[in-house]
Amino acid sequence: LVLPPPARVPPSGVSLLVQPGAQVALGHHLVLSCAVEAGTGPLSFSWHREDSGAPLGTVPLLDLRHAGDNDNGQYQCCVSNGDCVAESVPLNVTIL
C-alpha cells in the first residue's frame, strides 16, 4: 500500500521581528528575522528592500552588521514552499 504524500500547507502568518528596533544608530548592528506561523516545507525565504531588485538574503535572518544610510527603507520577507508565496507586512527601518 502506497500512501499519497501529505497535502502541503501554504505558508501563512509571515511576520518580521527586528532587534534592537526599527530605528538604529549609524554603524550599529541590526538583525531582521522572518517568522512563519504555518506552512509545510521545504520553505524558502527571500528578503527585499523597496528600492532593491535582487533579494538581499535567502535565510530567515537578515544581519546588517554595520547599518549605513543606504540601509534605510522598507523591508519585506517572502516565504515560499514552491506552490504558494506569502509576504510579510513591510517594515520601515530608519538609520539615525
Q: Is residue 1 part of a domain?
A: no
The domain total for the chain is 1
In a domain, 38, yes or no: yes
How many CB atoms neighbour CB 54 within 10 A?
7
pTM of the model as a whole = 0.85
Asked whether residue 4 is assigned to any structural domain, the reply reads no
Going residue by residue through the chain, which has 96 residues, state the pLDDT in tens, using 9 for 90 and above: 787 777 778 999 999 999 999 999 999 999 999 999 999 878 999 999 987 778 899 999 999 999 998 999 999 999 999 877 999 999 999 999
**Burial grade of 6 (CB within 10 A; 0-12, 13-18, 19 or more):** exposed
28: domain range?
14-95
Cα–Cα separations (whole angstroms), residue 41 to 7, 11, 16, 51, 79 = 11, 9, 19, 29, 10
**CATH value at residue 83:** 2.60.40.10
Q: CA distances (Å), 84 to each of 8, 38, 73, 77, in order?
A: 10, 12, 26, 14
Domain contains 64: yes
Whether 2 maps to a domain, the answer reads no
